[in-house]
Amino acid sequence: MKRLELTEQTVRPLRILEIGANKLFILAVPEQTEFYWTGTKPRGEAKRAFGPFRMIRSLIRLRRREFDLLVAHATQYAPWHPRSILTALRDWNILSPLGLLAIFAWRFIHLFHDVPIAVIDLSDSCHIGRHNFFLLDSCKAFFKRELPSDH
């Protein structure tokens, strides 16, 4: 029986693309994670906004399998909800076109690649919003913080 020897080429750290309004993986393993902000409030993350160039570049890199995992943070409100749009317009100020694009662009990141997707929903509500149902079809795992107690 042959023994499998692991070399540095066969064992490498997981490469993660994290997209959303929460930082989890980038804080835990920053050397392995690329993070882009898609929140309605910039919170000092405007330089990491998921704009058009980053979206296209990320889709190309996902298609080339340069990432091993895509982590998407589900939103509590739909991007087209007035609360999302008005908050982005108010808080992004002069960069509001970039903020508006960021809150809509993440919805296309699941297309055109076969990298596994993990979705994290940290909202307080105990249901998955209808605007996030498309993620259930495309993800490998959906993590929900709050679940109803009677189901």
The pLDDT of residue 150 is 65
The pLDDT of residue 44 is 86
SS3 letters across the chain? CCCCCCCCCCCCCCCEEEEECCCCHHHHCCCCEEEEECCCCCCCCHHHECCHHHHHHHHHHHHCCCCCEEEEECCCCCCCCHHHHHHHHHHHHHHHHHHHHHHHHHHHCCCCCCCCEEEEECCCCCCCCHHHHHHHHHCCEEEECCCCCCC
In a domain, 112, yes or no: yes
In a domain, 49, yes or no: no
Q: Is the pLDDT of residue 6 over 60?
A: no
User: Between 148 and 74, whose confidence is greater?
Assistant: 74
The pLDDT of residue 106 is 86
In a domain, 44, yes or no: no
- List, for residues 130-145, the tens digit of each pLDDT value: 888 888 888 999 998 8
The pLDDT of residue 81 is 94
In a domain, 104, yes or no: yes
What is the residue-averaged pLDDT of the chain?
Answer: 88
Stated pTM of the model: 0.84
The pLDDT of residue 129 is 84
Task: Tell me the residue range of the domain where 135 lies.
Answer: 7-21+55-151
Q: Give how many domains the chain has, as a whole number.
A: 1
